[in-house]
A and B are shown apart, each in its own frame.
Chain A
Amino acid sequence: MSVTAQSTKSNPFEAERNGLQLRRSIVNKLSIILTGFFAICASLFLIYLIGYIAAKGLQFINANFFTQRPRAPGETGGGWATALQGSAILITLATIIGVPLGMAVGIFLSEVGRGPFASFVRFLVDTLTGIPTIIFGLFAWVLIVVPSHSFSAVSGGVALGIIMIPTVARATEEVLRLVPNDQREASAALGATHSRTIMQVVVPAARSGIVTGVMLALARVAGETAPLLMTAGGTPFFNTNLFHQIDAIPLRIFNFTLSPYQIERDQAFSGALVLIVFVVITSLAVRWATGGFKRRGR
Chain B
Amino acid sequence: MQELVASEGQSQAEIAIDIQRLDAWYGPSQALFDVNLSILPLSVSAAIGPSGSGKSTFVRCLNRMHEEVFGARVTGSVVIEGVNIYAPTINPIYVRRHIGMVFQQPNPLPSRSIYENVAIGARINGLAKGRALDELVERRLRQAALWDEVKDRLSGAPTQLSGGQQQRLCIARALALEPHIVLMDEPCSALDPIATLQVEDLIRQLKQHYTIVIVTHNLQQAARVADRTAFFLSGHLVEEEATAEFFSHPKQKETEDFITGRFG
Determine direct contact between A and B, CB below 8 Å. yes
Instruction: Check: B1 CB closer than 8 A to any chain A CB.
Output: no
Q: How far is the CA of A79 from the CA of B82 in the complex (A)?
A: 80
Instruction: Check: A42 CB closer than 8 A to any chain B CB.
Output: no
What number of residue pairs across chains A and B have CB atoms under 8 A from each other?
47
Query: Could you tell me if A20 and B42 are in contact, using CB atoms closer than 8 angstroms?
Result: no
Query: Could you tell me if A12 and B42 are in contact, using CB atoms closer than 8 angstroms?
Result: no
Instruction: Check: A4 CB closer than 8 A to any chain B CB.
Output: yes
Query: Could you tell me if B124 and A13 are in contact, using CB atoms closer than 8 angstroms?
Result: no
| Residues of chain B from 70 to 97 with CB closer than 8 A to chain A in the complex | 80-83, 85, 90-91, 93-95
Instruction: Check: A24 CB closer than 8 A to any chain B CB.
Output: yes
B23 shortest CB reach to chain A, Å: 21
Query: Could you tell me if A13 and B83 are in contact, using CB atoms closer than 8 angstroms?
Result: yes
| Residues of chain A from 1 to 25 with CB closer than 8 A to chain B in the complex | 1-5, 7, 10-15, 18, 20-21, 24
Query: Could you tell me if A1 and B98 are in contact, using CB atoms closer than 8 angstroms?
Result: no
Q: How far is the CA of A11 from the CA of B180 in the complex (A)?
A: 14
Instruction: Check: B41 CB closer than 8 A to any chain A CB.
Output: yes
B125 shortest CB reach to chain A, Å: 8
Query: Could you tell me if B13 and A12 are in contact, using CB atoms closer than 8 angstroms?
Result: no
Residue of A nearest to B143 (CB): A1
Query: Could you tell me if A14 and B94 are in contact, using CB atoms closer than 8 angstroms?
Result: yes
| Residues of chain B within 8 A of A2, CB atoms compared | 41-42, 209
| Residues of chain B within 8 A of A5, CB atoms compared | 12, 81, 180
Question: 23 interchain pairs (CB within 8 A)?
Answer: A1-B180, A1-B210, A2-B41, A3-B16, A3-B41, A3-B42, A3-B81, A3-B211, A4-B13, A5-B12, A10-B82, A11-B4, A11-B90, A12-B83, A13-B80, A13-B94, A13-B95, A13-B98, A14-B90, A14-B94, A15-B93, A18-B126, A20-B126
Identify the A interface with B (CB < 8 A).
Answer: 1-5, 7, 10-15, 18, 20-21, 24
Identify the B interface with A (CB < 8 A).
Answer: 4, 12-13, 16, 41-42, 80-83, 85, 90-91, 93-95, 98, 124-126, 178, 180, 209-211
